[in-house]
Structures are given as structure tokens and as C-alpha cells.
Structure 1
């Protein structure tokens, strides 16, 4: 089989002694210079702060937290950017796989596993990391052109990268197919490729926005920033979406919230749970947007969760007591007329958020 990539330092994290022994045995066959096993997430984070760690074999259960909790803390510290983290677990539920992917893992191995399976997953993970190497080089060159003021050449270079944007959707669909077949390792690889491509395309859209701004084409610049924000929102990248949304608002004060737009798309496709998650993210960007509360209420109503539907309708109406659609829905749901409170106010920003139909 193809030679697996060399790793100088490997860390095994698990609270199970037999798992630790097996994982260490598999790791040492990769011939790292250093390999260690720890049982708590806090020890693992401290270890990785002290030592540059190339590969982490992470169990779903640690003594002080679960594997996903560890991943989220590591991601917050930026540790998943330059470390390959492979989940090695008995957990085969689909939601756990998706949560692990969202938290930043690079691969997913189900126990028990053979050395051959282990090395195949490691190799796939490495190939995924190098997947967009050529495109990233093209992106860097295009950004240099912007810096040089060669805006037309930069636009052409960015557009060339974006010609492949359908590839991300293809890998996403492949990932969903593998999930249905319970091929979780392959699903993670496909999803990671989709994410890497979409991050690349988001950067290309941001580059286009900068190039068009350099040419004085303000509307085109805003349009491409919105495309970039939409990509980050789709992959639940809150910080990146927030940063772009703030930039967009400076250029267009009535721009719609990208997470709200995503929620509407998901709800219309039948993914109500995904829509609810997107609307909650939207409220982290615009907590005083009555339209987002209204959309969230409708999503809960689709799930027949009348209690949360009413709670969010009340929040929408407390922000804007003259919100006609919300008043009608409130009266239909509760049988009561909405009585505006003395503190009800009209939002200072003219809301342009899309309403779910």
C-alpha cells in the first residue's frame, strides 16, 4: 500500500487503557520521533501548547470531557489549523460524525480497526490537507495582483479559480451519500474537501470584491462580499461571517443577515432543524431583528413546537409591535390580540431580512 506520511510527534488521547495501548501500537508503526498517550483533554491541550504535535488520535471519551469538547477547545485556540486530528471511536451515530467534522476533525476511524485501515485513513487525511495546494497558489498570485493595482488581471485570475465552484457541491453530495452508507471515514474526507474548496472560493470572492473596489465599482464589490459571507454562513463559520457582515454593513447599511438568508433556504428545502440553527446564528449577528425572530417562530411551528413559536413571536412583536404578519400569526396561534408593551420600539436599523414564506 502507499507509504503513509511521516509524523514527528503523535499524541493519543483516550480514557480507556486498552484503547490507548492499541492506538499507541498503531501510531508507533508510523515511526514518529515521539509518541505519547494522555487520558484528559486538559492534559492534551497543555501538551499541544508545549509541543508541536503533528497527529492526534482522539477517542470520543476522555476523563474530563468528550472528544468533541476537546476539539472545540482546540479549534478555539487555532490548534486544528496545523494539526491533523483523527477521531478513533466506537461512536457510529451520524450526528456524532457531523459534530466531529464541524468541530474540526480530519478523519474518523471506527473501532475495532486494523493497521491497514488505520494507515489508509491517515493517508486520505493527508491528501485532503494538500487537496487545494495548486488553487491556493493561484489565489496568492491573484491577491498579489490586487496589491500591485493590476485589478483587471486579478479579476480574471479570481474568476478562473471560481470556475470550479461546482466541485464543492459535488464533494458535499458525495459526503452525504457516504453518510447514508455509514462510510464515515469517507464522508469526513468528502466533507473536508468541500469545506476546503468553499473556503478557497470565499477567499476568491473577497479578492474579487477588493479588486472591484479598487476599480471604483462599489456595487460589484458588495455583491462578491455577500457571496463570500454566504459561503461562510453555509459552513457555520460564525467569526468569518460576522467579520464580513460588519464590512458589508459599512458599505450597505440595509444588507440582509447571511445566516437568516441561509435559514430561509434550508427551511424551504425541508431542513427545519438546520434552519433553526441558522436563525439562532443570525441572532448572534443582529439580535434586534424582528424578522429573524419571526422566521425562527415559523420554523418551530413547522415542528409543532408551539411553545417556542410563541416565545419568538413575542420577541418579534416586542421589537416591532406593528409587524403585521407577526401579529396575525400570534393571534392565530394564541387566540389573543397582541397588546404592545410600553417598551416596544421600532428598530433603529431598517430591517431588510428575508421572510420565510
Structure 2
């Protein structure tokens, strides 16, 4: 018999249909010892019996009357360590943060999928133990446990038995795997993940057993599941390593951080989604779907410049979706207005012409759509935006450039190299564009560059 049947769960949900859905999800996953209540006093009485391993509480119920229920639980010497999973519907970020600070372990937004609910529950029950927050004792003037000694969240006997049962099944599977008894090993590993769904080592065991049978498709599926599970458990390095191994044999393997972030869509947790999609993009920088997802999360969080920066590589290829194109254009316009307000010129730059002495003149910036700057040290071509007598601008495509960075580049076109090894220094970086001042050009380079820039409207070239 699985120890799950003895793990106590309290559901404090005033909406009966929602409570019934939660009960079915728990029963389908092997949990049987479930108590229900919609009254705060009754919830506290049930918890005081100390038969509950985790409480699932409706957010409004938990925070009513200035967090009265959370306070009572968090300041009780017998209950302060009890994990609380709060379930809300569109609660404000500030309220959620305060509820978690006072004693809640996690928050999940309604509606949620059965998979997401079970991941959050089993991460709390079987995942890494966390330090217990005790600030509430001091704030409320309550004598609590000695805060000078770190204390991790305890596990009940039933939770510990469940973990040990999963580990025993996993070790039996490993022994069978070494003996190449693949069918029996698969059965053991599968039983382990039924007992403990967030067990990445067991998924790796399943993958290796299927590979032993020559089934690489199933190997890839379970390796991807192992990587995803590591991402759920915040084991980012392990998730990245497993993903890298899987991608060597399966180019279609899903990005684990994107998978987790996609499951959390609609959870109103912008900071966590930004973290996950950022990790996903670091792991797979050429994945346009990840780039678009991260840009949308930045937009929802009000970070338009970050969104435009993420989209810059797509914008250089014209791949930005219609609903996000205005974002790129608006950020570019705002950047231009900010530049103009500092005294810099957008359409013309006031400078001493580099090619004809100290004469002061207005040098028009010329669009150069057919040209690119090729930076050998970066092994990449960057699409040119415009050029003047003293400088050039090009799209950086998401690459990192620093103010003051010295560059050497070839000015190239479809017909070949126009000017080789031009020197420049980075003077301006925006989410889309790098602006550089030319420096150290030889006379030959100046003449070649002057031949590239077309005449302005008055018939004069850039060099006068």
C-alpha cells in the first residue's frame, strides 16, 4: 500500500464545486486522507489535531481580517512549520508577497491544471526542505522556537515513508538495469515516479532502460521529463546538463525551462516567468518562440525596453509578430526623443568633418540598407542602419556591446568588401542599435569610405 494514502491534506475552499475538483485531483493521484472546511475556526481546530501534512487554503479565506488565519497558524508553536499552499484568483502581487512573508509556502492562481496543482503539492511535500520563516514571532511579540539555530521544514512519518518507498523502487530499478533486465527495470522506475512524481533520477533510469532496448524515441521523452522535473525543483544546472545531453541525439527535445514556464502561464507570477524564460533563452538563444514569450512577459510587467531588447534579433529579420511590432517602433521612437533631448541630433550630426580639416559642417546621416558591418572577432555580420562622415550605426541583433568598446570591422555589401578593417569606438547602445564613432582611418580607408556614402541632396558627398 502506498504511504500517500496516509498523508493528511486539509482543503479550505469555500466554493464547493472547486473543492470537489480538488478532491478528485487528489484522489486520482493516490491521496485519500483529505479533510474539508470553509470556516477559519474549524480549520484551526482540524490543524491542531496534527494529522495534516499540508493545507490548501483559499487565499481570501486565509488573508481575511488582516491575515488572521495565517497569523494564527504561523504563531502557533505546534503549527508554525505547517506548509500552506494558498489558492487565489487574481490576487494582487503585494498581497501575495505579504501572505508568503507571513507564513504561506506557495501561491497558485485559479484556475489551475491538475498537473500544476500536483507539482506544487509534491514539491512542497517531497522537494528540498526549506528554512522556516520565524520573523512573524518577533513581529507579533510571541515566544517562538529559538531563531538562533536554523531549522528546516520537518517531514511527517508518512511523507518520509513515501520518499523512502520511491528511493527503494529506484534502487531496485538500478540493479535490474545493470543486469540488463530492461523490462523489469522499467516497471520499477515507473513505480518510483508514481510514488514520487518529482523524481528526476527515476526518469533518467526509465530513459536508460528504454535505450537499452534500442528505443531512442522513448529515451528522449524520459530524458526531457527528467530535465523538466529538475527545472521544477530549481535544479537549473542539472536541467541544463540533461537537456544538452538529450539535444545531441534529439534535436527536437523541448527546452525544460520553457516547458515549466508554459505550464505556469496565467499564474500572474511575472518574476518567476521572467526567470524561467530568461534561463530558457540562455539555454537555446536561437529559439524564437522563447524570445517572443520572454518579450510578452516583460511587456506584462511594464518593462518595455527589456521587451524591445529581446525582440531586436527578430526585428532585424522582420520576424516580429504584428501585435509586437508597435512595441519595437515605439521604443525606438522614445529612444530617439531621449537622444534629441540631450542635445544630440537625430537626422544630422554637428561635427568637424573628418576628411577636410577642422571645417565645421552639418553631415547628413545616409541610410545604408544594403550594407553590413562584419566583425571578424564576433564572426557575424550586422545590418547597417545609417552612416555619416564620422560614424556608423548598425543593428546589434541581441549581441552585447559596451560603451567605449573598440571595434574593427569590414564594411561589406552584396558585391563584396568595400572597406577593410575600419576602426571605431562604441558611443551609444540602445535596445536595437549600436552607434559607433570612426577612428584611426588611413587615407585609403577614408577615400574608400567616401566612395560608399552617396551624395546628399545638395550634390555633395560626405567628404565635401
TM-score by length of 2: 0.40
Query: How does 1:29-178 map onto structure 2 within 5 Å?
Result: 94=100, 105-110=130-135, 111-112=137-138, 113-114=143-144, 124=154, 132-165=163-196
Question: Which of 319, 326, 344 in structure 2 is aligned with 1:323?
Answer: 319
* Contact 1:263 1:275 (C-alpha < 8 Å) held by counterparts: yes
> Per-residue CA shift, 1:224-257, capped at 9, x if unaligned?
1111111111222111101110111011123231
Unaligned runs of 5+ in 1: 1-85, 166-196, 348-357
Deviations 1:92-124 (A, max 9, x none): 87269779x9996444444444459999x6792
Instruction: Label 1:95 to 1:307 Cα distance change in 2 as closer, same or farther (>3 A).
Output: farther
Count of residue correspondences: 218
How many Å separate the matches in 2 of 1:157 and 1:309?
46
| CA 341–124 in structure 1, closer or farther in 2 if over 3 Å, else same | farther
Deviations 1:205-234 (A, max 9, x none): 111000000000110111111111111112
Which gives a bigger RCO, structure 1 or 2 (Cα 8 Å, sep 6+)? 1
Q: Give me the TM-score of the superposition, normalised by structure 1.
A: 0.51
Contact 1:249 1:255 in 2 (8 A): yes
1:271 offset after TM fit, Å? 3.1
2:234 pairs, out of 233, 236, 249, with 236
1:273 paired residue among 263, 271, 274: 271
Counterpart CA distance in 2 for 1:137 and 1:328 is: 52
Whose Rg is larger?
Answer: 2
- Larger helix share, 1 or 2: 1
> Is the alpha carbon distance of 1:92 and 1:286 closer, same or farther for their aligned partners in structure 2, counting shifts above 3 Å?
same
Q: Tell me how far apart the structure 1 counterparts of residues 259 and 371 of structure 2 sit (CA, whole Å).
A: 29
Pick the aligned partner of 2:294 from 274, 284, 296: 296
Contact 2:180–2:212 at 8 Å: present in 1 too?
A: yes
Residues 118 and 267 of structure 1: CA distance in aligned 2, closer, same or farther (over 3 Å): same
Kindly indicate whether the alpha-carbon contact (under 8 Å) linking 2:132 and 2:153 is maintained by their aligned counterparts in 1. Answer: no
The answer (yes or no) to whether the contact 1:317–1:340 under 8 Å persists in 2 is: no
2: CA distance, partners of 1:271 / 1:116 = 33
Displacement of 1:265: 2.5
Within a 5 Å distance, the mapping from 1:277-356 to structure 2 comes to 277-318=275-316, 321-325=317-321, 329-331=324-326, 333-335=328-330, 342=372, 343=381
Residues 293, 313 of structure 1: 8 Å contact kept: yes
CA deviations on 1:14-39 (whole Å, 9 max, x unpaired) are: xxxxxxxxxxxxxxxxxxxxxxxxxx
**Most deviating of 295-304 and 280-289:** 280-289
- Measured at CA, do residues 92 and 253 of structure 1 come closer, stay the same or move farther in structure 2, by a change above 3 Å? same
Judged with a 3 Å threshold, the aligned counterparts in structure 2 of structure 1 residues 106 and 131 are, in CA distance, closer, same or farther, namely farther
2:255 pairs with one of 235, 257, 262: 257
**What is the CA RMSD across the aligned residues, in angstroms?**
4.0
Q: Distance in 1 between matches of 2:155 and 2:148?
A: 11
CA 256–340 in structure 1, closer or farther in 2 if over 3 Å, else same:
farther
CA deviations 1:168-223 (Å, max 9, x no partner) are xxxxxxxxxxxxxxxxxxxxxxxxxxxxx62xx21111110000000001101111
